[in-house]
Amino acid sequence: MNVSQQNIDEINAVVSIEIAKADYQDNVEKTLRSYRQKANIPGFRKGMVPMGMIKKMFGKSILAEEINKQVSEKLFGYIRENNLNILGEPLPDESQEKIDFDTQEDFNFKFDIALAPKIDVNITKDDKIDYYQLQVNDDMVQKQIDAFASRFGTQIKVDEAGEKDMLKAKLTELDENGQAKEGGVSVESTILSPAYFKNDEQKAKFAGVKVGDKVVFNPFASSDGNDAELSSMLRIEKEKASEMKSDFEAEIFEITGFKPAEMNQEFFDNVLGADKAKNEDEFRVQVKEMIAGQMVGESDYKFGIDARKAIEEKVGDIVLPEAFLKRWLLTTGENKTPESVDADFAAMVPDLKWHLIKEEIVRKFGIKVEEADIMDMAKKATKAQFAQYGMMNVPEEMLENYAKEMLKTKESVRGIIDRATEEKILNTIKENATLNTKEISPEDFYKLFETK
């Protein structure tokens, strides 16, 4: 068997695979004998079917299967052994002669391959890239502390309703004269949350109410006629709720308010962990550092955008095997047309070029992702998920256990490896380029994205 490569140009090549009868004959004969031993054909005892009949019945398909197997193994083996960085997958050469398994004994297969263009990525201290460092001000710190205080607060019974308090009330349907309607809907106990009423006029009726007060309101108006809300509030079926447009009297018998956590040691420990802060000043310093740490991700995201632009401009134009890639997209995609492929190709080109640049950065700077990097990134991802629910001081052991669970699926591992690689690429650019650090307020920082 002979495998050879002919380069058409720097980004297109043809791989030829020549297979002679001696390359496949032994395997085909062995498979035929196996078929003969197992074949159940009426009129013949098992294992006694004439070989000629077996060859006639199965010979062509067995030959084709063996040839395809050997061609695939040799083709991809050749690509691996020669470290060919290909784009897409090999395609049968359009000049390939038709194969006839009935008459041919020797075969010649040709495959078109697209070679990734050679790219020189040179990152030095002469490359100056902006790095925006977000400033954390006192207002941001206070808002975060207020959010923590709300998260760790407690519900308490109060006599007078605040803006967001919940009310327990007895509801009585009224007639057109404002009297209790005979046979009307009566609810001994239901929960009202005026803060979430959809009608401001109805919401205002409950401002400052006290235990024992009676308020006349319209549930239909307060919920904007929402069947589910009315059904829940009035304890009636949804089908009846849409017709329930009467006024109701709400007799308030309990008000549940919310008390934010107090600025004390228990609060500090709940937010930061045990004994991380001993007083309010220390607590505020650490909250400020926490916010700054969270904003590093924002800064890095913007830096990634700016670094990509700077490196792409430095690398210059990258010539891609456009005809091959369009043909590959048309061949491998379902319901693809030349028109849709043109649109898809135009959309994929920028990301494909950047992918090639990143591959070269990985190669040139010897970037490797080790098992420790994968676990570290999985723990970061887990920590970020906990942070979304306000859990800022998750124990290391818990993070590690959740990370291990995350890494049990191949899909998750691939995603984590990609994120770890991206992080290492970003850090490599930071280390080798010159960062033009600029302090900026969050407001001005986010405006940078609005103008793009």
Please give the chain's pLDDT, 452 residues, in tens: 899 999 999 999 999 999 999 999 999 999 998 888 888 888 788 878 888 888 888 889 999 999 999 999 999 999 999 999 999 999 999 888 888 888 888 999 999 999 999 999 999 999 999 999 999 999 999 999 999 998 899 999 999 998 889 999 999 999 999 999 999 999 999 999 999 999 999 999 999 999 999 999 999 999 999 999 999 999 999 888 888 999 999 999 999 998 999 999 999 999 888 889 999 999 999 999 989 988 998 999 999 999 999 999 999 999 999 999 999 999 887 788 888 898 889 889 999 999 999 999 999 999 999 999 999 999 999 988 887 776 777 888 899 999 999 999 999 999 999 999 999 999 999 999 999 999 999 999 999 988 54
Q: What pLDDT does 273 receive? A: 86
Characterize the bridge pairing of strands 214-217 and 248-259. Answer: antiparallel
Q: What is the pLDDT of residue 388?
A: 76
Q: Residue 19 pairs with which residues in a beta bridge?
A: 107
As to burial, measured by CB atoms within 10 angstroms (0-12 exposed, 13-18 middle, 19+ buried), residue 388 is exposed
Instruction: Name the pTM for this structure.
Output: 0.71
Q: What angle do CA 323, 8, 115 make, to 5 degrees?
A: 65
Q: At what angle do helices 338-364 and 280-315 cross, to 10 degrees?
A: 110
- Give a three-class secondary structure readout of 93-152: CCCCCCCCCCCCCCEEEEEEEEECCCCCCCCCCCCEEEEEEECCCHHHHHHHHHHHHHHC
Strands of 153-240 (E only): list them.
154-158, 166-173, 186-192, 214-217
pLDDT at 451: 58
Q: Which two tokens stand for residue 243?
A: 């017709």
Cβ-Cβ contacts under 8 Å for 265 (sequence gap 6 or more): 278
Q: How many whole angstroms separate alpha carbon 234 and alpha carbon 247?
A: 12
At 112, list the tokens: 């078109």
Domains in the chain, start-ordered, CATH in brackets?
2-115 (3.30.70.1050), 128-143+268-450 (1.10.3120), 154-259 (3.10.50)
